[in-house]
Structure 1
Amino acid sequence: MQFLKTTAVCLGLAVTPLAISAPASAQGMPPEQIKQILDLTKANWVAFRDWQGQELIYFTHLESWKCGIDYVFYGLNDGPIDQEWQLDACDPDNPNVVLKDKPYIELPLGSAQSISVQLIFPDGTKSQVERFEYKPQ
């Protein structure tokens, strides 16, 4: 029985310093983990929607991970990726909240057939350019 108590105490001490010393971002996870999440969810970075005679391109997913992104650049219809989507400021107390009134760009209906997006992370690295095709419903 004493062996089990000693083992449990040693395991607890071994785990505790690692949890405390791990680098953390405002979202409570290491920056590399945020990059991995964004890479795994890249199909959701943007979304298209036709609404009341306009074409909307939503950046809601990226807004919800803004604490792990420095910049978002995009280009329409295979054009240069030279436009910046301005992310809201990171709120460490509510890192995933999206408060932006319009988390989308508005375009005339049928004007965007695709959008290409690239992220720049706080460590200066860049994501691959991801291209999203507009598929009307």
Structure 2
Amino acid sequence: MRFLTSSALAASLSIMTLSVSGQATAQGMPPEQIKQILDVTKANWVAFRDWEGKQLIYFTHLESWKCGIDFVFYGLNDGQLDQMWELDECDPDNPNAVLKDKPYIELPAGSTQSISVQLVYPDGSKSSVETYQYKP
């Protein structure tokens, strides 16, 4: 699993504590601020895990910011971004809760060497395509 560096964590926390002006999302912050948080934390968008003879790729971080994301597209092993991760519906009363039973995709062990991910935000803009390498 990937973790935030101390500088990325500090930047993320400072972004989250900025005063909020203008229209806010369900998470109490404007969409531009959520995009900044997702940009700072992009190293954590997905995580690989080997479990009981299977390879799991977790989308937990993106699920926790689902109120600021419209779509998540991904592709495996340098393939096209032709698959979509379906985020749970945003709950304004509990926007960061990850309630999905399985916040991951399950694949045969060793079948995936990389995953590329791109987000589409509510304003229609897209993130850069981020690629994550499997490291056993």
TM-score per shorter chain, which class? 0.7 to 0.9
CA RMSD of aligned residues (A): 1.2
Gaps of 5+ in 2: 1-18
- 5 Å-filtered alignment, 1:1-137, equals 22-136=22-136
Q: Within 1, Cα distance between the matches of 2:76 and 2:26? A: 31
Q: Within 2, Cα distance between the matches of 1:131 and 1:20? A: 31
Match of 2:7 in 1: none
Q: Deviations over 1:36-95 (max 9, x none)?
A: 000000000000000000000000000000000000000000000010000000000000
Q: Within 2, Cα distance between the matches of 1:20 and 1:33? A: 9
Q: Within 2, Cα distance between the matches of 1:28 and 1:93? A: 11
Gaps of 5+ in 1: 1-18
The Cα of 1:23 is off from its aligned counterpart by 1.3
The amino acid that maps onto 1:46 is: V
Q: Within 1, Cα distance between the matches of 2:91 and 2:106? A: 26
Q: Deviations over 1:4-60 (max 9, x none)?
A: xxxxxxxxxxxxxxx796210111001000000000000000000000000000000
Contact kept? 2:59, 2:104, Cα under 8 Å: yes
Q: Within 2, Cα distance between the matches of 1:20 and 1:48? A: 34
- Cα–Cα, structure 1 residues 20 and 54, in superposed 2: closer, same or farther, change >3 Å? closer
Give the alignment's TM-score, normalised by structure 2. Answer: 0.85
| Count of residues in correspondence between the two structures | 118
The Cα of 1:120 is off from its aligned counterpart by 0.1
Q: Within 1, Cα distance between the matches of 2:48 and 2:21? A: 41
Q: Deviations over 1:78-117 (max 9, x none)?
A: 0000100000000000000000000000000000000000
